[in-house]
Amino acid sequence: MNNRIDTQIDDVVGALADPVIVWPGPWQDTLPEWIKPAITMERLIENMKALKGEAPTGTDAEVLAYMYPRSLEAPLDSDWSQIYLYVSTKVMSRHKETEVPADIKVELLSDYQMQRLKELKDWIYEERVRLRQERRRAERAQAVAEAKVKAPEQLKLGV
């Protein structure tokens, strides 16, 4: 199989099975249940965009999931508050969740804020891929170790 197809298959599997990256802290296990399927759906959409030549990146739902526990720890600065409300507005309206109240909806960001959002999406995607590769290496190492233990038995050497 060629490398491009392998990568595409890996990306689809990753969209379905990669972990959700969240801000580490006391609130990291409190994500709303609706966000996980939203993340999967948005990851699949991003994969479709990548097939058309766009650079792969994290999704709005992933940014929302990452920032959610952070937003509960301490106030965000002005730029990150705007970014958080922006992705909240987009994700919640797209996935038909609770409507964001009109007085806190954010539908536009400054160029600086868009750049920060892009950087966070890129980091989230790279972290997902890194974790996927680490998990795959660990699984291969485990399989090799298990094969070594079973080798004498499989060869009926009676060791």
Rounded percentage of the chain residues whose pLDDT exceeds 70: 93
In a domain, 69, yes or no: yes
Residue 78 included in any domain: yes
Is 105 a domain residue?
A: yes
**Is the Cα dihedral 73, 21, 94, 56 positive or negative?**
positive
Q: What's residue 141's pLDDT?
A: 86
Please check whether residue 106 lies inside any domain of the structure. Answer: yes
pLDDT at 1 over 60: no
Within its chain, how far is the Cα of 109 from the centroid? Answer: 22
Q: Is 51 part of any domain? A: yes
- By residue count, the chain amounts to 159
Q: How many domains does the chain have?
A: 1
With H, G, I as helix, E, B as strand and everything else as coil, classify residue 107.
coil
Give me the chain's average pLDDT, please.
90
Residue that is written with structure tokens 């998990």 in the block: 135
Residue 47: domain span = 3-154
Whether residue 19 has pLDDT greater than 90: yes
Looking at the domain assignment, is residue 36 inside a domain?
A: yes
Give the pTM. 0.85
Between 51 and 66, name the one with better pLDDT. 66
In a domain, residue 118? The reply is yes
What pLDDT, on the 0 to 100 scale, is given for residue 130?
94
Specify if 159 maps to a domain: no
pLDDT confidence bin for 158, thresholds 50/70/90: low
Q: pLDDT tens, 136-146?
A: 898 888 888 88
